[in-house]
Amino acid sequence: EADIYQTPRYLVIGTGKKITLECSQTMGHDKMYWYQQDPGMELHLIHYSYGVNSTEKGDLSSESTVSRIRTEHFPLTLESARPSHTSQYLCASSWNNPFSSYEQYFGPGTRLTVT
């Protein structure tokens, strides 16, 4: 089993609050990702990072921001939570190969509910 951790696992929060979802991995992977997924539905890439000080937006427009100050840590921040942000947020990591794509290891996810 991969060593990638997410906290909190569940979060219920009111509209307008600022929240940070934590993600850490101990595998030394260069590449990290954040996905948004409604239960049983497809994965939507919202942010990714190739390494320290590198962040990119994914395919899904998102009101969140990310940072990558340390290799192992990739937090996601929502400045002002809204009910439309209610979803599951999955963090993943992989090795960064310039010629191919490596398998991704997923954390257990954070299930966010905004009331």
- Pairing state of beta strands 76-78 and 10-13? unpaired
Distance from C-alpha of 24 to C-alpha of 107, rounded to nearest angstrom: 9
Q: Nearer Cβ to another protein, position 41 or 79?
A: 41
Q: Nearer Cβ to another protein, position 48 or 85?
A: 48
Task: Tell me: does residue 100 bind another protein (CB under 8 A).
Answer: yes
45, 32, 96, 103 alpha-carbon torsion, rounded to 10°: -70
- Please give the DSSP secondary-structure letter assigned to residue 115: -
Task: Tell me: does residue 90 bind another protein (CB under 8 A).
Answer: yes
- Among positions 14, 61, 84, 103, the unique one binding another protein when judged by CB under 8 A: 103
- Pairing state of beta strands 19-25 and 10-13? unpaired
- Among positions 106, 113, 114, 115, the unique one binding another protein when judged by CB under 8 A: 106
Q: Residues 22 to 41: which contact another protein by CB under 8 A?
A: 40-41
Task: Tell me: does residue 45 bind another protein (CB under 8 A).
Answer: yes
